[in-house]
A and B are shown apart, each in its own frame.
Chain A
């Protein structure tokens, strides 16, 4: 017996081939419709793992960026507060130089002293700056005013009390990196931290006292002239504090730039792994369609081939 082909064989063959062609059309139309090359883990299990870890990083970067925004708000607020301090101290020095003039009468000095008293209030308000109801210079004690003037101001030592603590709140701004978003209030305003730090309240209090007593003897430690000298070192201190804020905001900027760059890179990676190449997918879809059409028409032709049965009368 030679090689024979049964009638069912061609049906079986075309059934399978049609099934495969249909699958190809379905697969490429799914990719076109979803815009994704990967629609379930089995489409590319390794890539799915990578994409999951990329998405994980993206989620963290988004959070770091939110934290950086909050850090930025804190530092901007701190910078504004210390700028106010700077202006107050500059004005205090002007007033002091004015008041040190020997030709001035006691009444005029008292008026100047009154203005210096107002500057102490300005300093206090800057030291008690809030952001969203939190006092920014009080360390962890953000819910209470960190500074209070002594009731006997300016005749008290210390002139103002610090009620905060020396802890600094830190937040996470990058993988394993934290940034403090506070400055130590007692260091900035009360001369804590040793070295040649100056107590700003005390400096203003002494100036006020010297103005009220009219002490213009430059050699006397309680004179206006001495207060002017103290104000000079206070200004140097305030300006160096402003500079140190600048270094923080620069760190925020560079970290943000790096994170945004990283995020764009990751987005691109995910897209490369996951997204469908539209031109290629369209081409593949058309090819699959064409193959299906060819199969269908050849199946039609083969399965309708004339049979001997047609010729039996």
Chain B
């Protein structure tokens, strides 16, 4: 050993101290982030310094960086499956609310009020001139009207709530897109590797949040920024350092749709992407908002329209106790659209119980016990009056309730199995990228020992130098 080698002893010991303490701080960082969502365990990269002369002696040690342990395949799969999970979660809550609205506790709902109404006609047929029975029939009619009004309002409220929540999510998507674009910019300009790593980890967390809201597809650009597109479209939410704007328009009419539009950065026109947003909780909610909720309103409207129409047609044939015919029981409706909201008992009936047409001919001529028209109306109860003559009034709606139940059951099952899938992927991801405390403890001891060794070298080098000075 040359004397020059003695001074290098100090610098190598210092290297050792430096690298071990960086190792310990990497461990400390891992431990600190053990519960940080999306955090990927970091590992210190160290190598021996270049050698002198003939390569006999190493030149010390250097830490040249930190790497994150990430499996990009699992990350991508996880983001994708989480967006499906989000879609099912969104649908699960709206469908379970819808099935609660449509089915009363007894599972029959509108069918029950319709049947009570017909039973009142049957009751009236026993004694067509009874004012009490006429009054009770009118009340059952009012029950039907208010049932349609309530269900229509409740489904509309649910739809409005869902629309509001979609619009809030649209804002969230926009702020997440902006955040990704901002981080993209920082990544592009970051000076050192570890700052880049940290920013990319941050970006992954935001990306995973975004994909829970709306299904996305992403790819890396050459400047390490990423481009994020709505899944299944080439429509970009983020291109490099710029983000697009997602916006929603909500048509409040019964069959109105909620539509989503993308305005590309710097662009002036918007593109309708409603039909392409199918995953993420936004996609799930959108599907129900424009699908089953509109369908429920439509079914209520169809039923209210057909029911009032067909009842009126027979009612007009009959005679009231006052001897007049050709009167409607329900106010005539303009059409299917809005029927459930607009259905009303006709004023002529409301103001005059004797206008209820139970008789087939003028009861002042034939007699007050004439109940022929009441019997004719009764025949509507079980007639196949709906869906082109394939199902009764009550059956028509219970079919719809059942189909909502089927969707809800499917979504519940899909949600559970998707939750299992995401859970498994998360565990897999954690097993690659997550922090293991035992491992960190071992690393901590390892770096501690290395630090102690380097310190020992430093102290011995000092003693050696002291002895030399004493000479």
- Residues on A lying within 8 angstroms of B by beta carbon are 3-9, 12-13, 15-16, 19, 38, 40-46, 48-49, 51-53, 55-56, 59-60, 62-64, 66-67, 70, 132, 134, 138-143, 164-165, 167, 169-172, 175-176, 178, 181-182, 307-309, 311-312
Contacts and interface: CB of A to CB of B under 8 A. Distances in A.
B108 interface: yes
Nearest to A38: B107
Contacts of B382: 60, 175-176
Nearest first, the 6 closest Cβ-Cβ pairs linking A and B are A140-B367, A6-B434, A41-B405, A45-B405, A141-B367, A42-B408
B438 A307 contact: yes
Interface string B417-450: 0011001001100111111111111101100000
A172 B125 contact: yes
Contacts of B430: 6, 8-9, 12
B96 interface: yes
B436 A7 contact: yes
A79 B371 CA distance: 23
Contact of B369 (A16, A134, A175, A176): A134
A12 B438 CA distance: 18
B444 A52 contact: no
B129 interface: yes
Given A6-B430, A172-B378, A42 B399 contact: no
Contacts of A312: 441, 444-445
Contact of B108 (A9, A45, A55, A64): A55
A6 B431 contact: yes
B423 A12 contact: yes
Contact of A167 (B125, B129, B366, B404): B366
B29 interface: no
Interface stretch (B13-21, B112-120, B161-169, B237-245): B112-120
B441 A134 contact: no
B409 A45 contact: yes
24 contacts: A4-B431, A7-B437, A8-B35, A8-B430, A8-B434, A9-B431, A13-B427, A42-B406, A42-B412, A45-B404, A48-B107, A52-B109, A56-B108, A59-B115, A60-B119, A132-B127, A138-B367, A138-B369, A164-B367, A169-B370, A172-B375, A176-B382, A308-B442, A309-B441
B370 A42 contact: no
A247 B351 CA distance: 44
A171 B371 contact: yes
A131 B412 CA distance: 59
B363 interface: yes
Q: Tell which of A41, A169, A170, A312 has the most Cβ of chain B within 10 Å.
A: A41
A259 B44 CA distance: 84
Given A6-B431, A12-B430, A63-B119, A140 B404 contact: no
A230 to B, nearest CB: 31
B107 A51 contact: yes
Interface size class of B (residues with CB under 8 A): 35 or more
Interface string B373-408: 001001101100000000000110011011111101
A16 B425 CA distance: 12
Nearest to B36: A8
B453 interface: no
Given A55-B106, A134-B369, A172-B122, 20 more contacts: A6-B435, A9-B427, A9-B431, A12-B427, A13-B427, A19-B419, A38-B107, A40-B96, A48-B107, A49-B401, A52-B107, A53-B394, A56-B395, A139-B369, A140-B366, A141-B368, A167-B370, A169-B369, A307-B438, A312-B445
A63 B431 contact: no
Contact of B402 (A15, A46, A132, A311): A46
Interface in B77-92: none
Identify whether the interface residues of B are mostly helix, strand, loop, or mixed: helix
A181 B108 CA distance: 33
B323 interface: no
Nearest to A5: B431
Contacts of A175: 382
Contact of A178 (B375, B412, B420, B426): B375
Nearest to A140: B367
A51 B109 CA distance: 12
B424 to A, nearest CB: 9
Contacts of A44: 405
Contacts of B442: 308
A48 B405 contact: yes
Q: Tell which of A9, A15, A132 has the most Cβ of chain B within 10 Å.
A: A9
Contacts of B109: 52
A249 B402 CA distance: 42
A171 B374 CA distance: 9
Contacts of B111: 52, 55-56
B353 interface: no
A165 B363 CA distance: 12
Nearest to A34: B105
A63 B120 CA distance: 9
B42 interface: no
Contacts of A178: 375
B100 interface: yes
Contacts of B419: 16, 19
A141 B369 contact: yes
A94 B421 CA distance: 98
A27 B21 CA distance: 54
A42 B123 contact: no
B154 interface: no
A170 B375 contact: yes
Contacts of A143: 129, 367-368
A132 B399 CA distance: 42
A59 B116 contact: yes
Given A41-B99, A41-B107, A308-B441, A49 B399 contact: yes
B437 A53 contact: no
B126 A171 contact: yes
B34 interface: yes
A66 B133 CA distance: 14
B441 to A, nearest CB: 4
A67 B122 contact: yes
Contacts of A45: 402-406, 408-409
B405 A40 contact: yes
Contacts of A16: 419-420, 423
Q: Tell which of A7, A67, A132 has the most Cβ of chain B within 10 Å.
A: A7
B62 interface: no
Nearest to B436: A6
Nearest to A143: B368
Nearest to A19: B419
